[in-house]
Copies of this chain bind each other. A is one copy, B any other.
């Protein structure tokens, strides 16, 4: 077995190990950073939904309003956990992978140095071989001189290669440990988030289950019937008396009176000016 060939192969194997790590860790880093960013965007979208749910709740009857607010709070809680997920992914998964870049660069510099030393040895050996063929007469003298030089180069190469092997072995050990730790952290972070989400959504489900639709409907029907039924009963007597009211129509305040104590709901409905509705309306894009 040829020691120079073996060394050369060994360095190539090391180069391959490092390049492979660079390639895949770079991809893991890039993909997990992207995964984290997309999780953050999901959080943003859900935060917007929370905001809209609260806005909508404020325009609805008390029962639905309370339900939607509680639901929105739960949804917001899930987003808080998602935010924690994002921060922890950044700190414990993406950042450690990013740090690998510098470590890889250092190891690659070590390999380059080792290759320079190896090339020096190879050149010495080539020189020796050429001289041996060109000058068969002075052969013994030249050989003994150059062999000393080649041996010195060989000692250098061996030392450097051994040092490199140790560096790469340490790199490999660190890599395997880090890989295990990073993905364990990833799994733990995701698991904690999903477990919290299950917990919060269970409570949200109860909130929605407890919604008393009938109460809101009675409320709505009472308002509609109150206005309409009252008007209907007074129709025949009112028709003529109404003629004395000057046009255009006066304020809408008459509408509120039959609701009695429910002024506050009427107020919150009135808070939203009609002209805003069209402008802020969003179509559902697919």
Chain A residues in the interface with B (C-beta under 8 A): 1-10, 12-13, 15-16, 19-20, 22-24, 26-35, 38-39, 41-42, 45-46, 48-49, 52-53, 55-56, 59, 64, 67, 71, 78, 94, 97-98, 101, 122, 125-126, 128-129, 132, 147, 150-151, 154, 158, 161-162, 165, 168-169, 172-173, 176-177, 179-180, 183-184, 187-188, 190-191, 194-195, 197-198, 201-202, 204-205, 208-209, 211, 213, 216-217, 220-221, 223-224, 227-228, 230-232, 234-235, 238-240, 242-243, 245, 247, 249-250, 252, 254-255, 257, 269, 272, 274, 277-278, 280-286
Contact = CB atoms under 8 A, between A and B. Distances in A.
Contact of A42 (B9, B30, B42, B48): B42
Contacts of A165: 224, 228
Contacts of A24: 52, 55-56, 59
B42 A35 contact: yes
Contacts of A208: 180, 183-184, 187
Contacts of A249: 4-5, 8
Given A5-B250, A49-B28, A243-B129, A177 B213 contact: yes
B35 A38 contact: no
Contacts of A49: 28, 31-32, 35
**Residue picked from A45, A98, A230, A269, most chain B C-beta under 10 Å:** A45
Nearest to A238: B3
Nearest to A183: B208
B198 A194 contact: yes
A184 B33 CA distance: 32
Contact of A235 (B35, B158, B177, B283): B158
A283 B26 contact: yes
Contacts of A5: 242, 245, 249-250, 252, 254-255
B184 A243 contact: no
